[in-house]
Amino acid sequence: MFKRTKFILANWKMNKNSNETIDFLNALNNNLPPTKQLQVGIAAQNVYLEKMVNYVRSNNIPLEIFSENLFYTQEGSYTGETSPAALTDIGIKGSIIGHYERRNLFKESNGIIGLKVAASLKNKLIPVLAISEDTTDYDPESASMSPLTELAIALAGVDKSIANNIVIAYEPSWAIGTNKTMTNLDITHAAKVIRKSLKIILGDNIADQVRILYGGAVNTQNANTIFNLSNIDGLLIGRASLSHNSFLEIINSVTNV
Ligand code: PGA
């Protein structure tokens, strides 16, 4: 079976100013594990991304910088949008796509999200495709489950030969920004449903390489247990990633086992 590199991604959302961003990166310096042991990334507001990339590179910090969104064409008349080519140009590693807040507040559909996933792959960016359906009641043996439909639309246009670079972030909408996490049993079940759906859409070989992250109310107390659940390859962390103390505590808790 394929050995998937574990991955922890911070989602800062619309938080932190320029100084706070650099102070945070400075606090991570010399405190992160090597990337081949654990891939660590931060997704931040576009306005600070290039500065972050430059800081990380000049200080040799094993940290990758992600955007929280992108558009699906290379260039053109799309006022206010960010081209995937521009993100690649400044050294961005990947992008969160279809986060629940974008689906909910900005009405992004699975069709639009699918175009963004395909554009990311084309531009050598890792698409972190966020899905937020509640899988608690779905039967992994059934072919008509909702995550399968959601994933099938979002992955319809991808080039399968590079689809192994896709990361899925499973975040039940009711857990985001709350203190409610899914039970370990439900997370395991959800990850199994997603893996099975990926196998149907992408084939066994590619689906085995796709990493599945869990997100939604991850904190210093629950991170290690969730991180080690079957089919879970890492975490997408919102609030607990805003303090470097709790972010590093989570990283240490999953690497020192
Ligand atoms: P949370 O957010 O960790 O603050 O619940 C996670 C997310 O929205 O990605």
Of 101, 108, 133, 171, which residue is the catalytic one? 171
What is the position in ligand 1's atom list of the atom closest to the CA of 236?
Answer: 9
- Whether the predicted pLDDT of 6 surpasses 90: yes
Nearest to residue 238, comparing CAs of 15, 86, 1, 2? 15
Nearest to residue 25, comparing CAs of 34, 13, 16, 36? 16
If one residue of 13, 97, 176, 219 were mutated to test the ligand 1 pocket, choosing by the most ligand atoms within 8 A of its CB, it would be: 176
Structure confidence at residue 141 as a pLDDT band (50, 70, 90): low
The dihedrals phi and psi of 31, each to the nearest 5 degrees, come to -120, 5
Q: What is the mean pLDDT of the chain?
A: 92
Q: Pick the more confident residue, 120 or 152.
A: 120
- Whether the predicted pLDDT of 198 surpasses 80: yes
- Whether the predicted pLDDT of 112 surpasses 90: yes
Q: What is the pLDDT of residue 143?
A: 43
- Whether the predicted pLDDT of 116 surpasses 60: yes
Is residue 249 among the annotated active site residues? no
Q: What is the pLDDT of residue 162?
A: 94
Measured distance CA(5)–CA(23) in Å, rounded:
28
Q: Are 216 and 134 in contact (CB under 8 A)?
A: no
Give the contacts of 183 (CB within 8 A, at least 6 positions apart): none
- Whether the predicted pLDDT of 91 surpasses 80: yes
What is the position in ligand 1's atom list of the atom closest to the CA of 11?
Answer: 9
91, exposed or middle or buried, with CB in 10 Å at 0-12, 13-18, 19+? Answer: middle
pLDDT tens-digit map of 228-242: 999 999 999 999 999
Q: Are 236 and 11 in contact (CB under 8 A)?
A: yes
Nearest to residue 164, comparing CAs of 132, 116, 212? 212
- Under DSSP, the state recorded for 155 is T
Say whether 187 sits in a helix, a strand or coil. helix
- Residue with the smallest CA separation from ligand 1 atom 9 is 238
- Residue with the smallest CA separation from ligand 1 atom 1 is 238
- Whether the predicted pLDDT of 52 surpasses 90: yes
Tokens of 156: 């319809």
Measured distance CA(43)–CA(65) in Å, rounded:
6
Tokens of 70: 């992108």
Measured distance CA(193)–CA(112) in Å, rounded:
23
> Does the C-beta of 171 come closer than 6 Å to ligand 1?
yes
If one residue of 7, 102, 171 were mutated to test the ligand 1 pocket, choosing by the most ligand atoms within 8 A of its CB, it would be: 171
Of the chain, the percentage scoring pLDDT greater than 90 comes to 79
> Does the C-beta of 8 come closer than 6 Å to ligand 1?
no
The three state secondary structure string of 189-248 is HHHHHHHHHHHHHHCHHHHCCCEEEEECCCCCCCHHHHHCCCCCCEEEECHHHCCHHHHH
Q: What is the pLDDT of residue 145?
A: 44
Say whether 11 sits in a helix, a strand or coil. strand
Is residue 99 among the annotated active site residues? yes
Q: How far is CA 111 from CA 116, 130, 210, 246, in A?
A: 9, 14, 20, 36
- Residue with the smallest CA separation from ligand 1 atom 7 is 238
Q: Pick the more confident residue, 84 or 156.
A: 84
| Average pLDDT, integer, range 31-55 | 96
Q: What is the pLDDT of residue 48?
A: 98
The dihedrals phi and psi of 129, each to the nearest 5 degrees, come to -80, 115
Structure confidence at residue 174 as a pLDDT band (50, 70, 90): confident
Ligand 1 center to 237 CA (angstroms): 5
Give the contacts of 137 (CB within 8 A, at least 6 positions apart): none
| Average pLDDT, integer, range 198-223 | 96
| Average pLDDT, integer, range 74-99 | 98
| Average pLDDT, integer, range 162-181 | 92
